[in-house]
Amino acid sequence: MAKEKIILSGNRPTGRLHLGNFTGALENWVALQDEYQCYFMVADWHVLTTDNEHTAVIPTNTREMVLDWISAGLDPERSTIFVQSHVKEHAELYLLFAMLITQARLERNPTLKEQIRDLHLDSEEGVSYGHLGYPVLQASDILMYRAHAVPVGEDQLPHIEITREIARKFNRLYGEVFPIPEGKLTQFARFPGLDGTRMSKSLGNTIEMADTPQEIQRKIRKAFTDPQRKRREDPGRPKICLIYTYWKKFAPDKTKEIYEGCTSASLGCVECKQRVGEAIADFLEPLREKRAGLEAKPGTVCRFPIHAWRVSAQGRQWESVGCTRFSGMYVRCGANREATHRGRVIGAEG
Ligand code: SF4
């Protein structure tokens, strides 16, 4: 029986995914496939908002990311995996939605402020018009498919709020078209990186899903721990230590033992880190194996460095469904959909 509720989510193709991506979104997506009709998008236009100079790497990054998706359990037979830029209607809807929100509202977006700080965008060059409008493009991604829910990391919640505001405004002006989507958070939505701040590729504090056990150990050795624990015999404070957070996620059956060992100083940080590194490597082992199998097997995602959506047999079908919905919305807006060439080319009969 077809699932009634729809989910759309995606990642920017910045290459291999890290544990923050896995715990903050991907793991949740895998579980949601049982419950929802799922669309997972390679957000390649979104990547241009912060890096429009290195576009040559996008195909490789797309391939690496989709490999991580499928390795983690996204199933192309059940879910549709596609590339945003292959469905040009995302850009058209973005333009229409841009009329429904003010510049001041977009400038108040706390995620944007965080990105400006992290990426040092407060220099002379400043923030591009496209970067400011990132949440509006995201609204078009979500609302075009009338998604009911959007699984996201905590940092994306303000964007979902903007999508909800745009949907409400559109519905008020043109009639009830869009469901108001909800953001779905996971327990580990803000997963700490090796320096204790949010795990992020731009901050260089990640462990990647495809890292080898040796790479994991090398990275973990440099991780921050309890700063008050200066000597081996000092008791530690696991509740403020990121290594303990890793234990809770990757080997929860060991947390009692680690907590007691840390607070009594019978366990040292060097040993604790080494053991958690092994636990993470064990957790990731099946994913690494699946990835290696996909990379080695012809006829899978590896054949499609750009057109990753083709891994899904439903890709074409999705494209048609998406355009049909978009056509319907155009009628509501009063715009002349029939005048657009692309609508006919894709076969978007309303
Ligand atoms: S023993 Fe483990 S949990 Fe305790 S402070 Fe050291 S690394 Fe952190």
Decide if 6-191+300-346 and 201-296 have a common fold: no
Fold classified for 201-296: Tyrosyl-Transfer RNA Synthetase (1.10.240)
Ligand 1 atom 7: the closest Cα is on which residue?
A: 269
Q: According to the model, what pLDDT value does residue 76 have?
A: 78
Cβ of 277 closer than 6 Å to ligand 1, yes or no, is no
Domain-by-domain residue ranges, the chain? 6-191+300-346, 201-296
C-beta neighbour count of 174 within 10 angstroms: 14
Span from the CA of 238 to the centroid of ligand 1 (angstroms): 6
Q: How far is the CA of 286 from the centre of ligand 1 (A)?
A: 27
- Give the model's pLDDT for residue 191: 87
What six digits make up the tokens of 328? 């319907």
Strands (E), the chain: 6-11, 37-42, 80-83, 149-151, 182-184
What DSSP string runs through 92-146?
HHHHHHHTTS-HHHHHT-HHHHHHHHHTT--SSS---HHHHTHHHHHHHHHHTTT
Question: Over its length of 350 residues, how does the chain's per-residue pLDDT go in tens digits?
Answer: 567 889 998 888 888 999 999 988 898 899 999 899 888 888 989 988 877 777 888 888 888 898 899 999 998 778 888 888 877 788 888 999 999 999 999 999 887 787 777 766 666 667 889 989 999 999 999 998 889 999 876 777 888 999 999 999 999 998 888 899 998 876 666 789 999 998 988 899 999 999 999 999 999 999 999 999 989 889 999 999 999 999 999 999 999 999 999 999 999 999 999 999 999 999 999 999 999 988 876 555 543 333 333 333 344 444 444 444 444 455 455 544 443 333 222 222 22
38 C-alpha to ligand 1 centroid (Å): 39
pLDDT of residue 166: 96
In this prediction, residue 124 carries a pLDDT of: 63
184 lines ligand 1 (CB under 6 A): no
Q: Extract the tokens encoding 206.
A: 């990640």
Q: For residue 320, what are the contacts with CB-CB under 8 A and spacing of at least 6?
A: 346, 347, 348
234: phi > 0 → left, psi -120 to 50 → alpha, else beta; which? beta
Please tell me the residue having the least CA distance from ligand 1 atom 4.
262
**Beta pairing, strands 37-42 & 80-83:** parallel
Q: In what order do the strands lie in the sheet with 6-11?
A: 80-83, 37-42, 6-11, 149-151, 182-184
State pTM to two decimals. 0.81
Residue 246: its H or E element: helix 242-250
Q: Which residues of 289-312 are buried (b: 16+ CB within 10 A; e: fewer)?
A: eebeebeeeeebbbebebebbbbb
**In the CATH scheme, what is the homologous superfamily, with its name and number, of domain 6-191+300-346?**
HUPs (3.40.50.620)
**CA dist., res. 151 & res. 153, Å (int):** 7
Q: Is the distance from the beta carbon of residue 220 to the nearest atom of ligand 1 less than 6 Å? A: no
